[in-house]
Amino acid sequence: MMRVDRTEAWLLGAGLALALGALVLPSWLTFLLTIAFAKGLVVQGVVIQMRAGLVSFGQGLYYCIGGYTVGVGGQMVGVHDAFALLLLSMAAAAAVAMVLGLLLTRYREIFFAMLTLAFSMILYGILSKSQSLGSTDGFNVRAVTALGWAPGAGGKMFVYVLTCGCAAVAAVLLHRLSKSSVGHVCEAIRENEVRVEYLGVSPRWMLYATYVLAAATSALGGGLIGMATGHVDPEMAYWTTSGEFIFIALLGGISHVAAPFLAATLFSTVRTYAIQFVPHSWQMILGFVLLGIIIFLPKGLWSLFRRTKAEARA
């Protein structure tokens, strides 16, 4: 079980290479990558559920919980250690997911999507009403420390390396999961839930576990984004934010664990250059890119790589 397969070795290697890239890459690029990989983690949450056939329109809920936990932990509780804060984020998200999951796993398809959206919007409403948390303006996140060490001026670099590390480790673990029997059962649920039930597995509890895992993964991404941008606000739970995550998930496709990271990087890159070159119509560019991918690469960007493989075999 502990044997590292080729994909895992590749993922860890890429994570390490990118983290080392901090030494040579311009700092705007490392920041872009920090945000992209952290978003990639949030999108992993969406993708885990997609593999099991559920599409969440409210993943912003856990993204927001992750960000706010880091913010509140640093600003009001006095926890400054990055690792402790991230663990707290995941725990908080998992706790909320355990409660909501009881209700949500009774739903499928569009109803699941709409209900997740509703819960996310309720959090948005609550945060918008909380003046002690800065209402819709949100509040700033304190600089973090790592096991007693304060990165100081290199804080953003530290968050970047941390993000690369979290992304690589999460990717390896999720890869193992998708290759395990649990991962195959999830795919089976997506294909045909009733047959899975006949085989003696409870789809509902599988989906429940998937939902909680997805929540924790997304919260990890949210926490990292909170540290990177230094600010959190309720917009993180707004439905358009969740829409962006689905956008990225489809961009990458659900076939490979690295796809969300690649897609998030492409998304950030396209968006930042669209904003720069066509400041008045950048949304339209994004729209056309998305349509193009759906029409020409229905299984996401990753199918580009897989197609060459399939052709080689044929």
Footprint (CB under 8 A) of other proteins, residues 64-93: none
State which residue, 139 or 208, has the beta carbon closest to other proteins: 139
Nearest distance, CB of residue 36 and other proteins, angstroms: 10
134 part of the interface to other proteins, by CB under 8 A: yes
Give the separation between CA 79 and CA 151, rounded to whole angstroms: 15
Residue from the set 15, 19, 22, 31 that interacts with other proteins by CB under 8 A = 31
User: How many residues of this chain bind other proteins (CB under 8 A)?
Assistant: 90
State which residue, 2 or 132, has the beta carbon closest to other proteins: 132
Interaction residues for other proteins, span 8-27 (CB under 8 A):
10, 26-27
In whole angstroms, how large is the CA radius of gyration of the chain? Answer: 19
Residue from the set 97, 206, 262, 264 that interacts with other proteins by CB under 8 A = 262
Q: In terms of C-beta density within 10 A (0-12 exposed, 13-18 middle, 19 or more buried), how is residue 271 classed?
A: middle
Nearest distance, CB of residue 45 and other proteins, angstroms: 16
Q: How many helices (H) and strands (E) does the chain have?
A: 13, 2
Residue from the set 169, 182, 272, 297 that interacts with other proteins by CB under 8 A = 272
**What's the sign of the alpha-carbon dihedral 190, 194, 196, 202?**
positive
Burial state string for 254-269 with b = 16 or more CB within 10 A and e = fewer than 16: bbbbbbbbbbbbbbbe
225 part of the interface to other proteins, by CB under 8 A: yes
Residue from the set 66, 138, 260, 300 that interacts with other proteins by CB under 8 A = 138
Nearest distance, CB of residue 190 and other proteins, angstroms: 11
Reduced to 3 states (helix: H, G, I; strand: E, B; else coil), residue 98 is helix
239 part of the interface to other proteins, by CB under 8 A: yes
Nearest distance, CB of residue 243 and other proteins, angstroms: 6
Give the separation between CA 167 and CA 189, rounded to whole angstroms: 27
AA identity, residue 116: T
